[in-house]
Chain A
């Protein structure tokens, strides 16, 4: 549900850049966020379409890269990436003394493709 707020902020940022760089059509928007940030890709797409029936972003493609959740295992000292099924068990040694080290990067706007 908070995807609407996120898209509103995104559109404000894009409008500022449109004034600065003088473009009036956005083709593609590249975003990234960590897998632990609570951004739901489908909800983000839906919110984006709902809020851009017209204007410079209408019809633009959203491209969201989800950065993996990385976990360190204290038993075998290896890092692993988790898709979230059983993140607190190490796939290498089955150990459970682990710590999440990466994955909660905030939603970021990286690049715009514009005309």
Chain B
């Protein structure tokens, strides 16, 4: 006997992510889902973003790692509330993992929650967590062919930060190709070229983010 079903496998996760989104809307907390390959510079970007925007916004961080808590310790040093999620083998954060961390934050005193996903250029893009925006980093040593090879994350993201621009001349990074392919996949993608080492280009990212948070908080919490 054949049974017609037609159901998205990720519906269960999407439902939880939508619940998270409704909760964040009510608390007026802007949530970033930060994704990249291992070592592209996620924690470095979180550190720089905290230093630049901590006077204007109250910031919290969720650190997702398969195991260990090195990244959470780096954030805790900055005296910022941070929760570590150890996924125990899973290559991505999902809606339920985020939901379980919520009791740890004081949402009355929070404007921006930055979630650093597990270092992985593929899987995290499939799982919504209740974010306002997916932000991804591609670092120049990884190569300019990554948008064409791993398109989903580029398709899902609002912002692409091309990091380690200081290294571009040494690793023959083809910036024009990376930009071209990324825009073929996602014409709306905002692209910023940055270096978390010498801080070049980061001001544009900070402005984008500050504007997005303000629009969100004034706009009645539309996600």
Contact = CB atoms under 8 A, between A and B. Distances in A.
B7 A13 contact: yes
A52 interface: no
Nearest to A14: B5
Given A38-B122, A104-B155, A110-B6, A88 B181 contact: yes
Nearest to B4: A111
The B interface is mostly helix, strand or loop, or mixed, namely mixed
B3 A38 contact: no
Contacts of A71: 184
Contacts of A12: 12
Given A9-B13, A17-B3, A2 B92 contact: yes
Interface string B72-87: 0000000000000000
Interface of B: 1-13, 89-92, 94, 120, 122-123, 125-127, 148-152, 155, 180-181, 184-187
18 contacts: A1-B91, A5-B13, A5-B90, A9-B13, A17-B5, A23-B1, A37-B126, A38-B123, A86-B148, A87-B184, A96-B184, A100-B151, A100-B186, A107-B9, A108-B9, A112-B5, A113-B2, A113-B3
